[in-house]
A and B are shown apart, each in its own frame.
Chain A
Amino acid sequence: MGAVAGLVSRRHREVPALDCVSFTIEPGELVGYIGPNGAGKSTTIKVLSGILVPDGGTVTVLGRVPWRERVAHVARIGVVFGQRTQLLWDLPVVESFDLLREIYRTDRDEHARARAELTELLDLGPLLDTPARQLSLGQRMRCDLAASLLHAPDILFLDEPTIGLDATSKLAVRDFVKRLNRERGTTVILTTHDLDDVEALCSRVIVIGKGRILSDGSLEQLRSGVTRERWLLVDLEDETAPVSDPDATLIRRDGRRACLRFDPERVPAAALIARISAAHRIGDLLLQPPPIDEVVARLYEKLL
């Protein structure tokens, strides 16, 4: 009925997409920008890249207000939207690159150098003469990354660059982004739902939800801000032995492996391990912080 009702009367409700979002990013940082769907990640990227004009507030990127000096601003940034391509659909990839050279008015030698470098780093050699429509998603993403970097931008915005990619392609994209940041000093702002991307790449994570910043800092800070708990993985010799401890909760049990959750303020890890190894014969032990997915999911839950 919703669509039919929309035909007769439409009610509008004002939803602030971003509210009191404030941060500063230094040159050369590699920042993860995460949040649940609809949190305002893409909106932020669009404002920062100058294609969306906010109703209020101030934004300065590389000394410019993006939407006021759009042309000068976009010449210095690169953007990849993982769900969209900027390649010419019907033409070989290399022709898209040539067109971009003209659009960015890049010097011919500089373009050739950048292209050769990116071709090598992203292993594009065999793809250059293929029309974009014949590329697989992973190949297309590598070509899109190269396309956004041909003009050697100072800042690279990556909006879900690993979405839908297989494991190998994800690793290739991550390795490349890491090298780009380290070797060229390009500032990278990355939005993603794949927290492995963040864990592998980002020294700093900004978490946003319902248009507001929930957390801003290193992954460790994010973790400790949400929870202090630790996970203890124990491999028991006896598959059937029940494991329990008054200061820990059993989360999972897969055959010999038991996973326990505990608060190190209540019981030191050493004490817990001592108690469990006294009660059971233990093959192996592993102590770790809760996985980042778990931490972030808990942070998002607080939003609801």
Chain B
Amino acid sequence: MRPYLAILSARFRALLQYRAAAVAGFGTQLVWGLIRMMIFDAFYASSAATQPLSREHAVTYVWLGQALFAMLPIQVDADVRNLVRSGSVAYELLRPVDLYGLWYARALAARTAPTILRAVPMFVVAGIFFGLEAPPSLGAGLGWLATLAGALLVGCAFMTLCTVLLVWTVSGDGLARWAPQVTYVLSGMVLPIPFFPAWARPVVEALPFRGMVDVPARIYVGDIQDPLRELGLQLGWTFALVILGRFLLGRAVQRLEIQGG
């Protein structure tokens, strides 16, 4: 575990070098949260029909998403992308560690470090001013924490898979643009999954993306009562994505091209 923990801590310290970026990220998430909140306000004010989530739950859902935004695997890590593009990925292969583990640790570091920096102030600000409510019960709170960990694991497995796929392409830009859009929509970050049309929901609910935002948020507000089943799904998907990623990485290393001589 030592090498992987060290990567995590190095990443965390690198991030602390950029305090302005953390402040800017927080500001952006706050503004987006307010916009999304206003959209929901307008929506609830103009509709008399019963909605799948109450207004209070929807607002809390929005703020949870904003607070934990940095955890969402919507960006192939810039450092790994640069490694592949410049050919410095060679140095990664020169380390006496399991390459998949190394990249998974990088993904984990890239998700947790900024999240910790941004989530805490967001919970405070949104909790005091903008209607982020506390979980209704201790069970919901614990279920949230457990599925939040699950969301991190499945998100990092997806991210590492993207990183592996990057090795198969030259610049990885196509993938780096495509992956976020899918994750963004299917995780519930744009629109909570309960608002999706009935025909789409079976598909969306079967995919791993929902475990990254929708599941923990709805357990938090008490809309989903069975955290264990959801956690099982998250871990199942994590397992599947790790197996696939490992398989593809094994193949990729056999035919790796290192850019630039």
Contact = CB atoms under 8 A, between A and B. Distances in A.
Chains A and B come from one and the same complex: yes
Interface of A: 37-38, 42, 46, 49-53, 70-72, 74-75, 77, 79, 81, 83-86, 88, 90-91, 95, 98-99, 102-105, 131
Nearest to B17: A90
Nearest to B6: A102
A79 B7 CA distance: 20
A302 B188 CA distance: 65
A98 B6 contact: yes
A52 B94 contact: no
B2 A105 contact: yes
Contact of B3 (A77, A88, A103): A103
Contacts of B260: 83
B90 A91 contact: no
Contacts of A42: 261
Contact of A75 (B13, B17, B96): B96
Interface in B203-261: 253-256, 258, 260-261
A52 B14 contact: no
Contacts of A84: 86-88, 90-91
B116 interface: no
A71 to B, nearest CB: 5
A88 B14 contact: yes
Interface string B6-25: 11001001100110000000
Given A84-B87, A84-B88, A103 B95 contact: yes
A146 B185 CA distance: 46
Interface size range on B against A = 20 to 34
A84 B260 CA distance: 10
A79 B261 contact: no
Contacts of A74: 93-96
A81 B6 contact: no
B104 to A, nearest CB: 15
Contact of B98 (A46, A71, A85, A102): A71
B97 interface: yes
Interface in B70-103: 86-88, 90-91, 93-98
Contact of B254 (A46, A53, A72, A83): A53
Contacts of B3: 102-103, 105
Nearest to B93: A51
A134 to B, nearest CB: 12
A201 B120 CA distance: 57
Among B7, B18, B93, which residue has the most Cβ atoms of chain A within 10 A?
Answer: B93
A254 to B, nearest CB: 37
Nearest to B5: A102
A38 B260 CA distance: 11
25 contacts: A46-B90, A46-B258, A50-B93, A51-B90, A51-B256, A52-B258, A53-B256, A71-B98, A74-B95, A75-B96, A79-B91, A83-B260, A83-B261, A84-B90, A88-B14, A91-B17, A95-B10, A98-B10, A102-B6, A103-B3, A103-B6, A103-B97, A105-B3, A105-B96, A131-B17
